[in-house]
Amino acid sequence: MSIIHPVQSVVSSENEQVIYTVVKNMLLAYKKSEAKDSSYQLVGKWIDDTAIGGDNQEGTNNEGIKKAKSNEGTAVSKNGQGSNMSTPSTHAYIRNLTLSKNEDRLFACTDSDKAIIILDIDFENMENCLNLVKRQRFPKRPNAIAISNDEKTIMIADKFGDVYSMDVDAPVVEKINDEVEPILGHVSMLTDILFKESKNGKRFIITADRDEHIKISHFPQSFIVDKWLFGHKEFVSSINAPQWKCNLLLSAGGDDSVFFWDWESGKLLSEFNYAELVKPYLTEQHAAPSRFQNEANDVVEYAVSKVVSLENLPYVAFFIEATNVLFILSADLENNTLTLKAKIDLPGNVVSLSACKDAFILSLDNRDLGNSNFVKFIKFNNETNDFSIDEPLSSQLDSVLVDSLKTNDSATVESNEIYPLYNVTSLKKHGEHYS
């Protein structure tokens, strides 16, 4: 039976009036109407119809599908079949959906041609508020992006460890290899990137990689390394800079902890260990590959996929890949510690997580939930001093998602055609990576 594909990514305007989602290779914009019911309406759509395996795709087979290796070491097509905890596949993914601070532009990465896309948002256009204004291809697949505070520059971190700087309004560079040089690099895959300003106004780029490193470089003199943040023993998948104080940084990945830093001084302030909290939520999906198991066959592997923070309240949220729980932490800004505030159980595994002014927004793997529970809004209640799911708002968005996509051939799929949703844990290195 056909189902609507799960939402892979979701971001919101500050007041939650506009919601942007990624479904397969589509970007969709939903805006609250000005009518009494204030329901969401589809106001924009952009489809990535660029063919996979085109001129910019190196190392593909005749079918345009890259080859990977299975856990047993044999070559397999990275087509989304098999393990749910897999390496990223060559689908028409749209990744790293980012809304500009002025909320007039969307940025994202497209896997189909290893590009950065920029879309203008114009609500005066009643037919479609999304307009593609730039598509810049890169030599290697972009893994993460960061926007400068003046929104004139975008930094791109790629899978080969290079960072590029791009003028948002500059013309497209046709021969990127010949005309543009990376501004800094790591020796392993980059997983996340941030642009930050210190208390005294100096600008920095913060980058994280698969080799447990967090690097802080000056900008635009990015060849000057300010410092490294050492403490992680496993890969770093996500970094976040809370708005409460400009010197704070959160990081997480393959370790059992969320790390809390003063990035300006380079000091690790504290760690929040979640190993015991996550145990009840681990399933057979978290079993280590057979060749890395012990005799008892009980080795598990898991990782934080994303860590975010609210803009105005000192709360942090994170989720472990392929689990149906969101952990929310309270940040004590006097003692620089993180403590558990809430544990939100969900009907499906969390796929993506973002934050706006006073809400956490996440999308779920709802393939077994009957075209419902696509997106959940988690909000803080001042009266109860706790977090809970805003079910009316979540259901309202669910309803318009279904109505707008149920007859869309691109959005409806069989369950075995769903794009791979879990690929963070596969960043974990085993003995073979060190030989």
- Compute the average pLDDT of residues 7-25: 96
What is the per-residue pLDDT for 250?
98
**Residue 324 placed within a domain:** yes
**Residue 61 placed within a domain:** no
The CA-to-CA distance between both ends of the chain, in Å, stands at 46
pLDDT tens-digit readout, 187-229: 999 999 999 999 899 999 999 999 999 999 999 999 999 999 9
Model confidence band, residue 35 (pLDDT cutoffs 50, 70, 90) = confident
**Residue 364 placed within a domain:** yes
- Compute the average pLDDT of residues 404-428: 93
- Compute the average pLDDT of residues 333-353: 98
What is the per-residue pLDDT for 83?
41
68 pLDDT more than 60 = no
3-state secondary structure the chain: CCEECCCCEEEECCCCCEEEEEECCEEEEEEECCCCCCCEEEEEEEECCCCCCCCCCCCCCCCCCCEEECCCCCEEECCCCCCCECCCCCCCCEEEEEECCCCCEEEEEECCCCEEEEEEECCCCCCCCEEEEEEEECCCCEEEEEECCCCCEEEEEECCCEEEEEECCCCCCCCHHHHCCCCEECCCCEEEEEEEECCCCCEEEEEEECCCCEEEEECCCCCCEEEEECCCCCCEEEEECCCCCCCEEEEEECCCEEEEEECCCCEEEEEEECHHHHHHHCCHHHECCHHHCCCCCCCECCCEEEEEECCCCCEEEEEECCCCEEEEEEEECCCCEEEEEEEEECCCEEEEEEECCCEEEEEEECCCCCCCCCEEEEEEECCCCEEEECHHHHHHHHHHHHHHHCCCCCCEECHHHCCCCECCHHHCCCHHHCC
**Residue 382 placed within a domain:** yes
- Compute the average pLDDT of residues 20-42: 91
What is the per-residue pLDDT for 383?
92
pLDDT tens-digit readout, 152-179: 999 999 999 999 999 999 999 988 877 7
Least confident of 87-91, 136-140, 228-232, 307-311: 87-91
Give the separation between CA 182 and CA 422, rounded to whole angstroms.
29
Domain count, the chain: 1
Q: Percent of the chain, pLDDT > 90? A: 81
Q: What is the CATH number for 311? A: 2.130.10.10
Model confidence band, residue 357 (pLDDT cutoffs 50, 70, 90) = confident
The pLDDT mean for the chain works out to: 90
pLDDT tens-digit readout, 70-115: 333 333 344 433 344 655 456 788 999 999 999 999 999 999 899 9
Q: Which domain holds residue 188?
A: 3-46+91-427
The partner residues of 337 in beta bridges, in order of sequence, read 332
**Residue 435 placed within a domain:** no
What is the per-residue pLDDT for 85?
61
- Compute the average pLDDT of residues 266-295: 96
Model confidence band, residue 260 (pLDDT cutoffs 50, 70, 90) = very high
**Residue 67 placed within a domain:** no
- In order of 318, 321, 362, 389, 397, the CA distances from 326 in angstroms are 6, 10, 9, 11, 20
**Residue 83 placed within a domain:** no
Give the separation between CA 255 and CA 244, rounded to whole angstroms.
25
67 pLDDT more than 90 = no
343 pLDDT more than 80 = yes
- Report residue 130 as tokens: 């999304």
What is the per-residue pLDDT for 177?
76
**Residue 80 placed within a domain:** no
Please state the pTM of the whole predicted model: 0.91
